Structure 1
Amino acid sequence: MRHRSVSDLMTPTAVSVQRGTTFKEIARLLDEFGVTAVPVVDENGCPVGVVSETDLLHRRDSGGGANSAADLMSHPAITAAPEWSAVRAARTMENYKVKRLPVVDAGGHLIGVLSRSDLLQLFLRRDRAIQEEILEDVLTHTLRLSPSSLTVEVADGFVTLSGTVSRHSLVPVVLRLCRSVDGVVDVTNRLDYEQDDLPADERTDTRRQKTT
């Protein structure tokens, strides 16, 4: 199983500004490139902050004297590495209450930008692609289960699993791995099992009991 990383989802940097870039030039660049924010980089191409449309509007509405990126930007820049998982990037955005992360290489140089809308791509995967990954990567290659004994249905990212596995203890494992597949919103468990090998205190009402 291979989860998509920040490098898979980010937008390669098309535009950035420096500390001295003016208010009007930033506004022009946002309009020209159709973006809502631009990273601010130093003389080495390393991000030091971000200027967004919100920053520009706040300056305009407040009538302040901020006329350059250095005055307008939110700083310091909260960055991501290209090898980060999408989950780590999403948690970083949430923890720092930011909508985008400049992506930097090992030397700290700007190579891209990851936005919340980029992360949404994970949940826009086609249902067929999700179904194939679960059947081939999760069930067949990872768990060595026979795909003919299980049915995987996917509708708008919602997965329904049905069929029979050999042991009760496999059920939570299957569910956990399926939920970790990129694009899966939730998993409905309709799995049955042949052998009940779980201790009584580990059983829950959400796992189907074996029928006889």
Structure 2
Amino acid sequence: MREPTVASLMTREVITADVGSSFKDVVKLLEDNAISAVPVLDGGYPVGVVSEADLLPKEEFRGGGAAEEPGLFAGRAVKHRWEQASGLTAEDVMTVPVKTVSPDTAASAAARELAAEGLRRLFVMDSDGALVGVLSRRDLLKLFLREDEELRTEIRDEIFGQMLWVDPDGIDVEVTDGVVALQGQLERQSQVEVAGHLVRTLPGVVDVRNGLRAEWNDTTHPRQTEIFG
């Protein structure tokens, strides 16, 4: 059972801006392509990102200007937005560094990074530092669009048949809207627990109802009698 990689889920056609792209051209790129951010390239390599949030200070501060400069006790974030408001090019307003991921990164690892950093996307760079794609939250959610029958077949054939060496015909596997229900009997309780874990970690599974039973429980041990000398 191989986990999907970033390369299998990413969007390969990436809309980009150049460091010298004008403020208005960047706004037009976002609007025309219905996207919320673009990577900024310098010589073909990503050096920053311009998002909608990086462009809004132009309206917030009406273009900046010394008369509107934040006061001495204004926070760092406010001062940064004021500086962005005076920007004329993508390089002036972009956020650095670029948050990137490699094409062979596991989908679950990419999802953890997006969650931990509070990001909407990761830009995908190859070993030479070239931009080869973009991975968004939406790209990762596509995993949950797998057909129920596809999931059922993989659970029966790969998890039970190949990994647990169990006859799939002896296990009842039902999948409804990504929710897996398991019924049947295995030899050991440890197998029941492993089966539930493997099914739960299968990409596209929404939840697992593990109704498997075991002939004997090999996960508990009798209390050993202490002998005092």
* Fold shared by both chains (TM-score > 0.5): yes
**1:114 and 2:135 matched:** yes
Using the size of structure 1 for normalisation, the TM-score is: 0.89
Write out aligned runs for 1:14-33 (5 A): 14-33=14-33
1:154 alignment counterpart: 175
Map 1:92-103 onto structure 2 (within 5 A): 92-103=113-124
Greater mean alpha carbon deviation, residues 97-106 or residues 152-161: 152-161
Letter in 2 for 1:52: S
Check the 8 A contact 1:13/1:110 in 2, yes or no.
no
1:133 aligns with 2:154: yes
Q: CA deviation at 1:131?
A: 1.2
Which residue number in structure 1 is paired with residue 66 of structure 2? none
Whether the 8 Å CA contact 2:181–2:208 is kept in 1: the answer is yes
Instruction: Give secondary structure in 2 for the equivalent of 1:101.
Output: strand
Choose the corresponding residue for 2:220, options 199, 208, 211.
199
CA distance in 2, matches of 1:158, 1:109: 39
Structure 1 vs Structure 2 CA RMSD: 1.5
In the TM superposition, what are the counterparts of 1:181-196 in structure 2 within 5 Å?
181-196=202-217
Question: Structure 2-normalised TM-score?
Answer: 0.82
- State the alpha-carbon separation in 1 of the partners of residues 178 and 13 from structure 2: 30
- Structure 2: give runs of 5+ residues left out of the alignment: 63-84, 223-229
The answer (yes or no) to whether the contact 2:102–2:126 under 8 Å persists in 1 is yes
1:39 aligns with 2:39: yes
> What code does the residue aligned with 1:51 have?
V
Instruction: Spell out, residue by residue over 1:99-122, the C-alpha distance to the aligned partner (whole angstroms, 9 max, x if none).
Output: 100100001110000011111111
Contact preservation (8 Å) 2:14, 2:134: no
Q: Distance in 2 between matches of 1:133 and 1:191?
A: 18
Q: In 2, Cα distance between the equivalents of 1:19 and 1:71?
A: 8
State the Cα distance separating 1:78 from its structure 2 match: 0.9
- Corresponding residue of 1:179: 200
Whichever of the two has the greater Rg, that structure is: 2
Return the alpha-carbon distance in structure 2 between the equivalents of residues 119 and 62 of structure 1. 36
The percent identity for this pair of structures is 41
* Partner residue of 2:89 out of 56, 68, 79: 68
Residues 184 and 58 (structure 1 numbering): CA distance in 2 closer, same or farther, change over 3 Å? farther
For structure 1, the residue ranges without an aligned partner over 5 or more in a row are: 202-212
Amino acid at match of 2:150: A
Q: Distance in 1 between matches of 2:161 and 2:204?
A: 19
Tell me by how many angstroms 1:61 deviates: 2.6
Aligned residues: 200
Amino acid at match of 2:21: T
CA drift of 1:42 comes to 1.7
Structure 2 residue identity aligned to 1:61: E
Kept after mapping to 1: 8 A contact 2:185/2:215: yes
| Matched residue type, 1:47 | P
After TM superposition, the structure 1 stretch with the greater mean CA deviation from structure 2, 100-109 or 138-147, is 138-147
